[in-house]
Amino acid sequence: MTTRRRLLATSLGLPLGLPLGLALAAAGPGRSAGAQEAAPPVPRRDFTVQGYTTRGGATLPAIRTGYQTAGRLNAAGDNAVLITHFFSGNGQAFGRNDPDGPLGWWDAVIGPGRPIDTDRYFVVAADSLVNLNAPDRYTVTTGPASVNPSTGRPWGMSFPVVSIRDFVEVQKRLLEHLGVRRLALVAGPSMGSLQVIEWAAAYPEMVERAMPVIGTGEMDAWMLGWLDLWAAPIRTDPNWRGGDYYTQGRDPPIRGLTEALKLVTLHSRDRGWAAAQFGRRPAEGQDPARRIQDRYAIETWLEGAAAARARLSDANSFLYLVRANQLFLSEYGSTAEALARSRARWLVVPSRGDRVFPLEYSRELVAGLRAAGQAVQEAELSGGLGHLEGVANIAQAGEAIRGFLAA
């Protein structure tokens, strides 16, 4: 398996080798695996904003974001679809970066004749600020691993705090650059769903439809605590050095980042998946009942998947992403106030086995939207992948998405 395929597998928290098969199996009506293999790579482009001021008031001399597009923008500039990505993802939502690379994480629903039909819509997907995949050559982002032009050294923890709203502001500038005036749809899973809701609240006149997948309308204390637990192992790694590990000769905090990604990976899966895949089976050749250092199969799998992912990620960016998520809708007095600003029609897509944003979060979001007089539809996902159903198995909601866009 290529490094890129390993990256996709571990970014989704899936067993190595599985995601490509899942994507091909979910190719959609009239699109065979062979047609997928023959499709040319989707070009990745680079957009720069000069002189950006964060929502917290800090000034950055320039920020860069990578993006990709499919389809054509119409003369009115109103047939655009924005796809926003999850915590460990980037803007490769569809297509391939290179001929033998993995398919994008929502490729099953984006393309000619698919629910998000690129014969009809101009689809844009971009890399976020402080992207976890900063070391990846296919990801373009500005964050703590980027060079501060005033010092010639990486920003590290001197990089300013950014929020989900900052992600939206950068996306808006990109869309304006591309000539987009109105969005027929903003859609994304997990952290992407937070961006969807921020978009609908911040720019209600621009958003016709909003589709938050495996998300929530509220960053409550329980979720704030979980995010802190995700981040904690990085800060306890001696190699983190308060974020100053970029100097040549210093080892990055791979151990702490690995432990953080183990938490994220297991949290993103359902208990039924763990039981079916591993049960109480010991790791091969090991006996936890006799030797304290021996481990169970799920422990060694989590270690291997997270360690592979950690080598392709940036620990400081992980911490900045955690804070950006914690600041979701922080500029409004309440979730109700934010939702009341929207003029969009909504399709809320939860996963029944979600452990990150349990089903009750989506139900509360739907109730809040209805209380605000919003038009809301629901399409519930099921299966053993828990939170990750909204990434790997979004094709389950394909017909609901098609109908939502047709209405």
Distance of CA 356 to the CA centre of its chain: 13
Tell me whether residue 158 is one of the annotated catalytic residues: no
80-83/122-126 β-pairing: parallel
Task: Give the DSSP H/E element, type plus range, for residue 54.
Answer: none
Tell whether the model's pLDDT for residue 105 goes beyond 60.
yes
| Annotated catalytic residue within 107, 127, 136, 354 | 354
Q: pLDDT per residue over 347-381, tens digit each? A: 999 999 999 999 999 999 999 999 999 999 999 99
pLDDT for residue 4: 42
| Annotated catalytic residue within 11, 107, 163, 387 | 387
Q: What is the pTM of this model?
A: 0.91
Tell whether the model's pLDDT for residue 331 goes beyond 80.
yes
pLDDT for residue 3: 44
Q: What is the dihedral of CA 369, 179, 403, 92, to 10 degrees?
A: -90
| Annotated catalytic residue within 146, 190, 342, 351 | 190
Q: pLDDT per residue over 307-324, tens digit each? A: 999 999 999 999 999 999
pLDDT interval class at 13 (50, 70, 90) = very low
pLDDT interval class at 25 (50, 70, 90) = very low
- Whether residue 395 contacts residue 109, with contact meaning beta carbons closer than 8 Å, is answered with yes
Please identify which residue in the block is written with the tokens 């790579």: 41
Tell me whether residue 85 is one of the annotated catalytic residues: no
Distance of CA 241 to the CA centre of its chain: 27
Q: pLDDT per residue over 196-244, tens digit each? A: 999 999 999 999 999 999 999 999 999 999 999 999 999 999 999 999 9
pLDDT interval class at 39 (50, 70, 90) = confident
Tell whether the model's pLDDT for residue 32 goes beyond 80.
no
Alpha-carbon distance 349 to 313, whole Å? 28
Classify residue 403 as left (phi > 0), alpha (psi -120 to 50) or beta. alpha
pLDDT for residue 286: 94
- Whether residue 116 contacts residue 110, with contact meaning beta carbons closer than 8 Å, is answered with yes
Tally of residues, the chain: 407
The residues near 301 (Cβ < 8 Å, ≥ 6 apart) are 15, 277, 278
Q: Which residue blocks in 146-220 are alpha helix, DSSP H?
A: 164-178, 191-202
DSSP-derived letter for residue 113 is: T
pLDDT interval class at 38 (50, 70, 90) = low
pLDDT for residue 339: 97
Q: For residue 139, give Cα distances in angstroms to 130, 144, 370, 405.
A: 11, 14, 38, 29
Q: Which residue(s) pair with 207 in the sheet? A: 183
pLDDT for residue 113: 98
Tell whether the model's pLDDT for residue 27 goes beyond 70.
no
